Chain A
Amino acid sequence: MDAKEVIARRVALELRDGMLVNLGIGLPTLVAAYVPDGMHVAFQSENGIIGFGAPPPQGMEDPNLTDAGGGFISALPGAIAFDSVTSFALIRGGHVDMTVLGGLQVDSKGRLANWMVPGKIVPGMGGAMDLVTGAKRVIVAMQHSAKGAPKIVEELTLPPTAARRVSLIVTELAVIEPTEDGLALRERAPSVEIEEIIANTGAKLSIPAHVPEMAFIAG
């Protein structure tokens, strides 16, 4: 398993039957491949659909049926399409059970930064601020470090996406839960030592006596 697969298969453990889930673009999208057999999870794409599936066969794409990244998708039986006002009423109104988003930084207060790097990349926040503000659970799925620099930091140096404390951070090394008292180490990836997690984390971690190994949804 490479780092991204570790993260996607661990995040998939957070899925529950009947959930409405919004996956961000990039790494989070991989989670859709690991929905456990027999579990029904509805995926929302904020451009206006619940219940989308894999891209159609080549040459059968519908130009009016895409996901929020502009990729072609299919509509599964039971799917519904709607406009942007409805889509964000679902998101902001707390009707989305869980969102999985990528991250540039998360700090000790559990605040996420994932929408811009001042002076470098200013793509815009798209739907990220609404998702982090409104979804019932916010899971950050990201690599633990970027070019050797920790992405989990004491205090954000990048502009926050929301003031809200995210629910869980899943990386290829660890599962970390932001709490009122700071960041708590919950799980470690197989064959990863706690010292390695500490060395790659730029914020203080509270570490319980027993840190279990990560479980995964089967590939």
Chain B
Amino acid sequence: MRKAITAGEAADLIPDGASVMFGGFLGVGSPERLFDALAARGAKRLTIIGNDTARPGVGVGKLIDAGCVTRIIASHIGTNPTTQKKMIAGEIDVELVPQGTLAERIRAGGSGLGGVLTPTGVGTTVAEDKRVLEIDGADYLLEAPIRADFALLHAHEADYFGNLTYRLTAANFNPVMAFAADCVIAESDHIVPVGVIPPDAVRTPGVLVNHLVGRAC
């Protein structure tokens, strides 16, 4: 059994300058309470890693608004004009990664692989400065693994062991990120006793989760 922490306590664990990966697709499946707490703490110089930067005031967009972020690794920033403005002003450095490549680089980072070989990006600007390997006559880019200091997840249910479930399209990057950070913090819509989630229904094993954020009450 473990003791839940508050979102504020979680934000205090994350130092300025940390790298933080986060679940969410345009804010769907994002840990909103953790973002609120980080913005409230006034976190600085974070590197954030996720699919996109949602919109101003939504999801990780709250951290962009609050000036917490200086570096972004994402597949898409087109829905957040604040991100684009700060990128053009030189306040935020953005690395754009194809969505499937981002998922696989994180998977590699979390599963002990030294990289992935993908055909995505061959013949494009994504291939610049990367090794191209020919395998059975086809070209593949060697893409490096990605890990972070922290992974901030949003789940549907968490049990007292930290086993997690997700709902519908709110899973997205959450399950793979649970493997790829030194410290994994999960917030969930519901906290349930051990045994409520059938073993087959667990999507993220609790052994991967370092901290659970308690109920919002």
| A interface residues (Cβ-Cβ under 8 A, vs B) | 45-49, 62-70, 75, 81-85, 87-88, 91-92, 111, 121-130, 133-134, 159-163
- Complex Cα–Cα for A139 and B84 (A): 29
Closest residue of chain A to B175 (Cβ to Cβ) is A83
In contact, B99 and A126 (Cβ under 8 angstroms): yes
In contact, B98 and A129 (Cβ under 8 angstroms): yes
Query: Which A residues lie within 8 Å of B126 (CB)?
Result: 125, 129
In angstroms, how far is the closest chain B Cβ from the Cβ of A120? 11
In angstroms, how far is the closest chain A Cβ from the Cβ of B79? 7
Stretch touching chain A among B2-10, B39-47, B63-71, B115-123:
B115-123
Known: A123-B77, A124-B77, A126-B76. A64 touches B100 (CB 8 A): no
In angstroms, how far is the closest chain A Cβ from the Cβ of B24? 10
**Residue from A64, A66, A162 whose CB has the most chain B CB atoms within 10 Å:** A64
Dominant secondary structure of chain B at its interface with chain A: mixed
Closest residue of chain A to B54 (Cβ to Cβ) is A70
In contact, B169 and A66 (Cβ under 8 angstroms): yes
| B interface residues (Cβ-Cβ under 8 A, vs A) | 25-29, 51-52, 74-79, 84, 87, 96, 98-104, 107, 118-126, 156, 166-176, 203
In angstroms, how far is the closest chain A Cβ from the Cβ of B194? 24
- Complex Cα–Cα for A62 and B167 (A): 10
In contact, A92 and B123 (Cβ under 8 angstroms): no
Closest residue of chain A to B171 (Cβ to Cβ) is A83
Query: Which B residues lie within 8 Å of A161 (CB)?
Result: 124
Query: Which B residues lie within 8 Å of A123 (CB)?
Result: 76-79
Known: A129-B121, A130-B99, A160-B124. A124 touches B78 (CB 8 A): yes
Query: Which B residues lie within 8 Å of A126 (CB)?
Result: 52, 75-76, 78, 98-99
Closest residue of chain A to B95 (Cβ to Cβ) is A124
Write 23 A-B pairs (CB below 8 A) sorted by A numbering: A47-B169, A47-B172, A48-B169, A48-B172, A49-B169, A64-B156, A65-B168, A66-B169, A70-B26, A81-B168, A83-B172, A84-B171, A84-B172, A84-B173, A84-B176, A91-B100, A121-B78, A124-B74, A127-B75, A130-B120, A133-B120, A134-B120, A162-B120
- Complex Cα–Cα for A162 and B139 (A): 12
Query: Which A residues lie within 8 Å of B156 (CB)?
Result: 64
In contact, A130 and B100 (Cβ under 8 angstroms): yes
In angstroms, how far is the closest chain A Cβ from the Cβ of B169? 5
In angstroms, how far is the closest chain A Cβ from the Cβ of B116? 10
Query: Which A residues lie within 8 Å of B174 (CB)?
Result: 83
Closest residue of chain A to B80 (Cβ to Cβ) is A123
Query: Which B residues lie within 8 Å of A130 (CB)?
Result: 98-101, 120
Known: A81-B169, A84-B51. A162 touches B122 (CB 8 A): yes
Closest residue of chain B to A163 (Cβ to Cβ) is B123
Closest residue of chain B to A84 (Cβ to Cβ) is B103
Query: Which B residues lie within 8 Å of A133 (CB)?
Result: 119-122
